[in-house]
Structure 1
């Protein structure tokens, strides 16, 4: 029924087992362990771009959190209108909530596929999807420090192969399994803490009650669940879980650092554009928002220099020009139309008196 999942998973694991079997030997336990680990790395490399899209979508959703909260309050009694406005806001900002779930949704069938393939490594079986009879026998007989990769410590209805059937030893199985269980829980917690720390940068997003519940589940419930559920899982699944969390930690560091650098560059460019459009000191800004023009240079009136001024003789009185419309002033201090007019008038008055 789910062969479209089982065949691709078994094929990737088969290819890596061939590669590491050439180096360490086909029956070596390390070849099978590395084939599981690199199965994880291959799938996570394929999902790298969707993961980057997930981070960008989450960042946009965090930026829209205040506006979304405002819409929830505004349309608290109209769910249909709220949904329409939310979709409109997400379309305007290019955010896709479902895009952030794609990497997680893809990993779920991979986990199920690997779990099923490992269960089918049974003694006496002639094939297991891409694996032939010799490869099935090799997996059953191989061990990693005495622990069987396909065996579980606690047998359940889903454990079709018991530790005794594979010829394993309980002590050896626990020596390898317990450290892996602890590492799986620790790495799950660290990965979740890293994601929550990124969300804490946006208080509006953290204020959502659903987000707070999910963060607590990621931080505490999931890591504890991995530790408690470890004995019920095949040993190879624990290798899968540890390697998956290690890849996630490294990928988060690289992707977040890259996105932070891009956002810092955008902020620097925006600041440079604002500074370029800002008016210079002493310059009036244009109302149309364009770059203000340079102030025009004011031509100063030409003044006569000392070279063009006429030379003054020693003892000469300064010559003053009359203002427009004013009568010229006589040199003797009187006023009149002609020079010396004031003296002649006084002389005539003197003759009449005599």
Structure 2
């Protein structure tokens, strides 16, 4: 596997670390209080920190995709449960409908798992490169070299002199490649051959234990932030509950237990990586929350635009088709009907002498409109009541008429 991991993982990671070490060593050389910047523990620690920053910047897009993947999974859980309930006896149909739902929602499981597959080899590669500065051990990946061979063997991009400067670096008195459980005979790699040791195990413990505690606490905080954005339905799943407890407690405790076997540079990497994750999660979750707010506001505005205005009765298109051309309530029809009724009443009105006359109001309306009274026997106009045969007949005078009789019959004398 070295023909794959060396060019794809180990050389790129060691190259990034080498680049930042050269930058900070140059800047440290400009400061008068920095002695031997090439072997300064602070400069090498800054190089490791910025190695982490560079790698996390490269993995920022996959990390954002992974968070969106988790959110999308939570949104799809109710629909997935419905499909599982509907097709519980038909696995083939369930698989087809599941793929259809994923395509409809724009969900790609492979793309969501990609960030995890990228981060695992990066972490393992960084662990291998930092541990390879001291190859005196006989564990997996180590060569069991002597102290002299270790100090004179390159480490991927680093040559022998640069390996020696890393082994001579001290972070608050502890070598960056040392770890708490490291055998004493391997300490000889951190000094020149035959020279006395300038540190003891307690120096390593004093520096490593605080880094282990900070790394465990930040791991717990990252898990708590991630789980706080988990939906109640997903959190109620029994398998999810077990995984949540592992993330909250088992992983941080595991760091405290296994931290004694990690080189100091790896602990620096862990602290930096966890602090970056805290800030990255806060940024991404806030950004996605704002996107959700904007989308919800857009949906409300759309619904508000489609809803009827306050005080306006919704218009039914079907009823609107049957309205008259004049528009409101058939005003022209009612006007014509009232006019015809007026004519009918005026035609039917008479005097006590049997003569048919038009009323004063009807005569004035007829004179103004230029219409004449229809003759007896003439065809009625549209909308007019037909006149009775034999012409118009006068009505007998009614009591209380405004016109008294012109003549009265005299009683005959007997």
Using structure 2 for the length normalisation, give the TM-score.
0.70
2:152–2:161 Cα contact (<8 Å) kept: no
1:279–1:285 Cα contact (<8 Å) kept: no
Cα deviation for residue 285 of structure 1 reads: 4.8
2:219–2:251 Cα contact (<8 Å) kept: yes
Q: Distance in 1 between matches of 2:175 and 2:23?
A: 21
Q: Distance in 2 between matches of 1:299 and 1:45?
A: 71
Q: RCO higher in 1 or 2 (8 Å CA, sep ≥ 6)?
A: 1
- Judged with a 3 Å threshold, the aligned counterparts in structure 2 of structure 1 residues 322 and 218 are, in CA distance, closer, same or farther, namely same
Q: Distance in 1 between matches of 2:151 and 2:413?
A: 166
Structure 2 gaps of 5+ residues are 29-36, 135-149, 191-196, 319-325, 332-341, 353-358, 360-395
Query: Which residue in 1 is equivalent to 2:242?
Result: 213
2:38–2:165 Cα contact (<8 Å) kept: yes
Cα deviation for residue 287 of structure 1 reads: 6.9
Q: Distance in 2 between matches of 1:225 and 1:35?
A: 26
Report whether the alignment pairs 1:84 with 2:96. Answer: yes
Query: Which residue in 1 is equivalent to 2:32?
Result: none
Query: Which residue in 2 is equivalent to 1:248?
Result: 277
Q: Distance in 2 between matches of 1:212 and 1:125?
A: 51
Query: Which residue in 2 is equivalent to 1:140?
Result: 167
Cα deviation for residue 22 of structure 1 reads: 1.2
1:148–1:163 Cα contact (<8 Å) kept: no
Query: SS of the counterpart of 2:345?
Result: coil
Report whether the alignment pairs 1:173 with 2:204. Answer: yes
Query: SS of the counterpart of 1:130?
Result: coil
Cα deviation for residue 121 of structure 1 reads: 1.1
2:179–2:208 Cα contact (<8 Å) kept: no
Q: 5 Å matches for 1:1-354?
A: 1=2, 2-3=5-6, 4-24=8-28, 25-122=37-134, 123-155=150-182, 162-166=186-190, 167=197, 168-199=199-230, 202-280=231-309, 281-285=311-315, 323-328=345-350, 335=397, 343-344=405-406, 347-348=408-409, 350=410
- Judged with a 3 Å threshold, the aligned counterparts in structure 2 of structure 1 residues 46 and 173 are, in CA distance, closer, same or farther, namely same
1:327–1:335 Cα contact (<8 Å) kept: no
Q: Distance in 2 between matches of 1:270 and 1:87?
A: 27
Render the CA deviation track for 1:220-272: whole Å, top value 9, x for unaligned: 11111111110011111111111111111101111111111011011111101
Cα deviation for residue 322 of structure 1 reads: 9.0
Render the CA deviation track for 1:133-174: whole Å, top value 9, x for unaligned: 111010011110111111121148xx9x93354244201100
Q: Distance in 1 between matches of 2:65 and 2:413?
A: 121
Render the CA deviation track for 1:62-101: whole Å, top value 9, x for unaligned: 1111111112222223333322222221111011233233
The aligned length equals 320
Query: SS of the counterpart of 2:180?
Result: coil
Q: Distance in 1 between matches of 2:317 and 2:233?
A: 36
Query: Which residue in 2 is equivalent to 1:309?
Result: none
Query: Which residue in 1 is equivalent to 2:375?
Result: none
- After TM superposition, where is structure 1 displaced by more than 6 Å over at least 4 residues in a row? none
- Judged with a 3 Å threshold, the aligned counterparts in structure 2 of structure 1 residues 154 and 164 are, in CA distance, closer, same or farther, namely farther
Q: Distance in 2 between matches of 1:287 and 1:144?
A: 81
- Judged with a 3 Å threshold, the aligned counterparts in structure 2 of structure 1 residues 94 and 340 are, in CA distance, closer, same or farther, namely closer
Cα deviation for residue 328 of structure 1 reads: 4.1
- Judged with a 3 Å threshold, the aligned counterparts in structure 2 of structure 1 residues 84 and 142 are, in CA distance, closer, same or farther, namely same
Q: Distance in 2 between matches of 1:191 and 1:233?
A: 21
Kindly report the root-mean-square deviation, in angstroms, between the aligned alpha carbons of the 2 structures. 3.1
1:75–1:82 Cα contact (<8 Å) kept: yes
